[in-house]
Structure 1
């Protein structure tokens, strides 16, 4: 996920540079690895870009001194290529006459790059985006006008994209969209196009939302738009007025980033699966390392530990010796050469994980990392780097990143088991369908649990890590004491606390329903109020039940437990985005 902004004006001035910088600051939550700006003026095309946050790059590169009548801006969340000056957007063609900014993932960029290089094109970055300006350049060489060349370039792409392109001498911005947001802002004597409404909200509230597979161009006074079949769209029927403040607009109408990010999970999972498909050679190398390792040590903290525990259970079931390890307890395992360490961290900076892998690497282990941040500290220490590509997560409590961790693990397991990948390709739809089905009932459950002082979350087998994550979520943001147990273990002590009305949440992924049913009845007999979240197999006698059908139970359960915690927090009047005493990235012991 990246932030993009385009401005095209009748007048050439430095003011457009200031407006672009202002827009990038409002988009920085979408990405903060690197920043770049392109301007088209009477003098031609100019690019200024560098690694770093908006404020420091703007100052260092003197971006506000740029002049022009067309501006593009980009703040990057790295997906292909490390966060560096040369990987920062905008990217250009061989002659520096075409500039492109892009949000998304081009799945066939390697093939396109090889073909373009065979035709003599020279590349300067490691990104997938750079193929786009070279494609435009190539089609223009073949006699196409700029818009025809742009359309032909877009037709060559396989993947997701929100693309903006400018060409020296042209007073228009070309655009195309598939799966990533793109909105036009209609002004007076100037028009805007961006990945989010906040980018241009101070200047106009008249917007036009671009739909998938639409493309066109924006001039200072007009918008030309074609649908996926090449038909011209009547934009007057699509213009609407927004009445949002900037903070609300950043959340796209959602009251909190957490609920926005839960609803972004289907998109995040799709990006994750697509990126893993494009990195299949890497995944196959990791599979070989798993097969050849004496032991697999899976290390993580908090939510990432729960994802790792899920992975460990699956590996042990396959007869692969696996140890799940809470990162802060890394010193309790003596590793050796022949071990493979699998490090899971959303930020890639978690200090306990970092210290653990350093110790184990010194003892001869190979390191595989699963992180969400390109070239983070943990990724840099690793022999194999797998990236989730869920995009930035603003809410402190992990939501879409946990779901994409599970999706990544399930993808790896599918390759390891030699399963048909058709099932894992359905993952985004499974997550989306779950959210649409359960939101009302999760709100009811969250409102009830918000009134409780203590809760048990119970699970067996693969549902146990999900029960642990459910308990963690409601503790983190609703401040309700919740404990997770293996359901069979609950009668060895914990059941002594159960009395009339005591809430028990049972997570049933359909594997061990009969055993979980016995545990339910044990709790029910002591007066517990039972909330059952069941996939594929129904549980009887629950007081409140969520029942789902899913080919991938874990990916259906994940958003359910997140939504319950969210609605419990807001029922109590807490801000779920900023839970007390917690930070997004833990970099101290």
Structure 2
């Protein structure tokens, strides 16, 4: 949530490159946007409530020259989205400009103290205390760098901060609990919340650690601790192509990313699973890597939580005790955590604040930790004992699609590796599952080519509510289908374990509440019984099932068909149909699909 960018170089192209960076970061927040440009004098600030297009309109008149600048796209936490609350924020003199991602937890106290000393505030944000604190340090004779370091020491909370001042030609930045990466190129440097911000300009990046302070000038940079001790951070080359983060001719990022799933799944599976021999080869986890594990706990949020539920089901079915926790609730969980516990943090970005907090609790309890993430160099990947990368490629749409599919497949492989290490050799069941995974990318492509989801979305666009049900490994798919539907269509949708429909939710069922029921070939008789209960109350039934499932078809008004496959793999196929359903429903309603209201891609505050 919120995206920051800074650019410094020898030429005067800061504005254009900052705007490009902000557009690439808009998935992190789109309530308001702003830039501060420095050319000779003090920082010149331009900011507007709303999308970045409004800021571009402002800059279209007189674009300021300058090689140094900072920018920000906001997801509101303190104060509504207004011009005044947009970043960058400045001090009383206008000499200091700051952008910030995160939350300053002690800002009320700091703001009261500053106001008592005569400082005047123009916004409701927590961020604005930062430039005023720097202003005081500068007035005491500190250099900009010293003033910045002293100010950071006074802050509590999570943050990534970038600052420029009138006094010198440099960017000062630091991070604690919020992501920040440094982009390195010939003649220019970048700082940003995420790599896509500057991928158009450089593929060379440095992932900063919590507590790092970086001072970037036109010709060099220096990274140190808050105490000033120099530290070395390695330069990595990002393998994404800038076009990977573009729409590629699709109307929305979400639709593009749904259609990228066959490729993403091939990348996830490449070199890791052999459906012919039944072997699993996870690059950093040879046979025996998990022999000492007695229990597995998954911690995650949102879509990743649903993937974690699937993963726990795989492990439990393989004879390994496993549970899934909402990361935000993990701190109060009574579940045992010790050195024989493996805690798996499932997080697309690797920066989700609640998940990082849960992983840190697990580390403090002596557990082994493992991150399942899409981002090499992310905080989760660096702080955990181990990491398994899902290899889905960049995902820009706020509503996760291809990363969910890649997470589920990655967790399936991880569960297979753990189960074999803990309980013994592969079973015939596991070999069949791996063989089904081999076929999965092609089967997803079949769905994308022939889905009738758009027609069904149109049929039920005026419904009162939408219910999704499933059993076993597709109960989480029902939850995910409902989450996707509600977050981009703004229509009421709920997911239930199929058997729970009659224990309360059935009171809401009417002819205006379609039921989307997922069938996998396992426990289908019971799910069909639940469908009949809803059917008897007049509810329209949409089944997600293989096309040869005749009995299901007899009781369904429509069928979203999926290819025949192993029951444990069917959920991924069913989910693709539900993603398409949600997309087309939202598109028919004219919703801003890639940027649903009140939501952001990466939630970096607890």
The bucket for the TM-score relative to the shorter chain is 0.5 to 0.7
Question: 1:473 and 1:61 mapped to 2: Cα distance?
Answer: 37
Question: 2:595 and 2:24 mapped to 1: Cα distance?
Answer: 18
Higher mean displacement: 272-281 or 441-450:
272-281
- Which residue of the partner structure matches residue 411 of structure 2? 409
Aligned ranges 1:25-40 → 2 under 5 Å? none
Aligned ranges 1:433-448 → 2 under 5 Å? 433-438=446-451, 441-448=452-459
Query: Do the aligned partners of residues 25 and 127 (structure 1) sit closer, same or farther apart at CA in structure 2, a change above 3 Å counting?
Result: closer
Higher mean displacement: 273-282 or 471-480:
273-282
CA deviation string 1:113-139 (max 9, x = no partner): xxxxxxxxxxx987798xxxxxxxxxx
Query: Do the aligned partners of residues 406 and 255 (structure 1) sit closer, same or farther apart at CA in structure 2, a change above 3 Å counting?
Result: same
Question: 2:281 and 2:593 mapped to 1: Cα distance?
Answer: 36
Equivalent in 542, 566, 569 of residue 556 of structure 2: 542
- Which residue of the partner structure matches residue 239 of structure 1? none
Structure 2 residue 443 is the aligned partner of structure 1 residue 430:
yes
In the superposition, the TM-score normalised over structure 1's length comes to 0.59
Q: Verify the 8 A CA contact 1:266 1:429 in the aligned structure 2.
A: yes
Gaps (5+ residues) in structure 2? 1-9, 29-179, 191-198, 209-233, 275-279, 421-425
Q: Verify the 8 A CA contact 2:185 2:201 in the aligned structure 1.
A: no
Equivalent in 360, 364, 367 of residue 366 of structure 2: 364
Query: Do the aligned partners of residues 61 and 541 (structure 1) sit closer, same or farther apart at CA in structure 2, a change above 3 Å counting?
Result: closer
Question: 2:382 and 2:334 mapped to 1: Cα distance?
Answer: 23
Deviation at 1:24, TM superposition (A): 8.6
Structure 2 residue 285 is the aligned partner of structure 1 residue 284:
yes
Structure 2 residue 594 is the aligned partner of structure 1 residue 577:
yes
Equivalent in 234, 257, 263 of residue 267 of structure 1: 263
CA deviation string 1:343-381 (max 9, x = no partner): 100010111111111111111100011001112111112
Q: Let me know the Cα RMSD of the aligned residues.
A: 3.7
In the superposition, the TM-score normalised over structure 2's length comes to 0.58
SS in 1 for 2:472: coil
CA deviation string 1:280-338 (max 9, x = no partner): 354534x7454532211011100000000011112112221111101111122342221
CA deviation string 1:464-514 (max 9, x = no partner): 000000000011000111111111111111111112332111011221111
CA deviation string 1:84-142 (max 9, x = no partner): 9xxxxxxxxxxxxxxxxxxxxxxxxxxxxxxxxxxxxxxx987798xxxxxxxxxxxxx
Structure 2 residue 330 is the aligned partner of structure 1 residue 330:
yes
Query: Do the aligned partners of residues 365 and 61 (structure 1) sit closer, same or farther apart at CA in structure 2, a change above 3 Å counting?
Result: closer
SS in 1 for 2:501: helix
SS in 2 for 1:533: strand
Deviation at 1:383, TM superposition (A): 0.9
SS in 2 for 1:546: strand
Deviation at 1:412, TM superposition (A): 2.6
Aligned ranges 1:77-92 → 2 under 5 Å? none
Aligned ranges 1:283-322 → 2 under 5 Å? 284-285=285-286, 288=288, 290-322=290-322
- Which residue of the partner structure matches residue 153 of structure 1? none
Aligned ranges 1:137-156 → 2 under 5 Å? none
Q: Verify the 8 A CA contact 1:350 1:585 in the aligned structure 2.
A: yes
Gaps (5+ residues) in structure 1? 1-13, 33-50, 63-71, 85-123, 130-179, 182-193, 199-249
Equivalent in 382, 393, 412 of residue 384 of structure 2: 382
- Which residue of the partner structure matches residue 578 of structure 2? 561
SS in 1 for 2:188: helix
Aligned ranges 1:210-221 → 2 under 5 Å? none
Aligned ranges 1:448-467 → 2 under 5 Å? 448-467=459-478
- Which residue of the partner structure matches residue 340 of structure 1? 342
Q: Verify the 8 A CA contact 2:351 2:378 in the aligned structure 1.
A: yes
How many residue pairs are counted as aligned between the two chains?
390
Question: 2:204 and 2:472 mapped to 1: Cα distance?
Answer: 36
Query: Do the aligned partners of residues 371 and 77 (structure 1) sit closer, same or farther apart at CA in structure 2, a change above 3 Å counting?
Result: farther
SS in 2 for 1:523: helix
Structure 2 residue 357 is the aligned partner of structure 1 residue 355:
yes
Question: 2:182 and 2:504 mapped to 1: Cα distance?
Answer: 51
Question: 1:323 and 1:528 mapped to 2: Cα distance?
Answer: 34
Question: 1:505 and 1:448 mapped to 2: Cα distance?
Answer: 13
Deviation at 1:269, TM superposition (A): 1.2
- Which residue of the partner structure matches residue 532 of structure 1? 543
Aligned ranges 1:188-227 → 2 under 5 Å? 195=243
Aligned ranges 1:106-145 → 2 under 5 Å? none
Deviation at 1:425, TM superposition (A): 2.8
CA deviation string 1:372-405 (max 9, x = no partner): 1112111112111111121111110001111111
- Which residue of the partner structure matches residue 519 of structure 1? 530
Question: 2:17 and 2:288 mapped to 1: Cα distance?
Answer: 47
CA deviation string 1:133-182 (max 9, x = no partner): xxxxxxxxxxxxxxxxxxxxxxxxxxxxxxxxxxxxxxxxxxxxxxx99x
Q: Verify the 8 A CA contact 1:31 1:77 in the aligned structure 2.
A: no
Structure 2 residue 498 is the aligned partner of structure 1 residue 487:
yes
Question: 2:370 and 2:334 mapped to 1: Cα distance?
Answer: 17
- Which residue of the partner structure matches residue 251 of structure 2? 255
Question: 1:281 and 1:544 mapped to 2: Cα distance?
Answer: 40
Question: 1:486 and 1:554 mapped to 2: Cα distance?
Answer: 14
SS in 2 for 1:491: coil
Equivalent in 185, 188, 199 of residue 60 of structure 1: 188
Query: Do the aligned partners of residues 582 and 125 (structure 1) sit closer, same or farther apart at CA in structure 2, a change above 3 Å counting?
Result: closer
Higher mean displacement: 579-588 or 418-427:
418-427
Q: Verify the 8 A CA contact 2:27 2:396 in the aligned structure 1.
A: no
- Which residue of the partner structure matches residue 87 of structure 1? none
- Which residue of the partner structure matches residue 399 of structure 1? 401
Q: Verify the 8 A CA contact 2:484 2:579 in the aligned structure 1.
A: yes
SS in 2 for 1:386: strand
Question: 1:23 and 1:302 mapped to 2: Cα distance?
Answer: 30
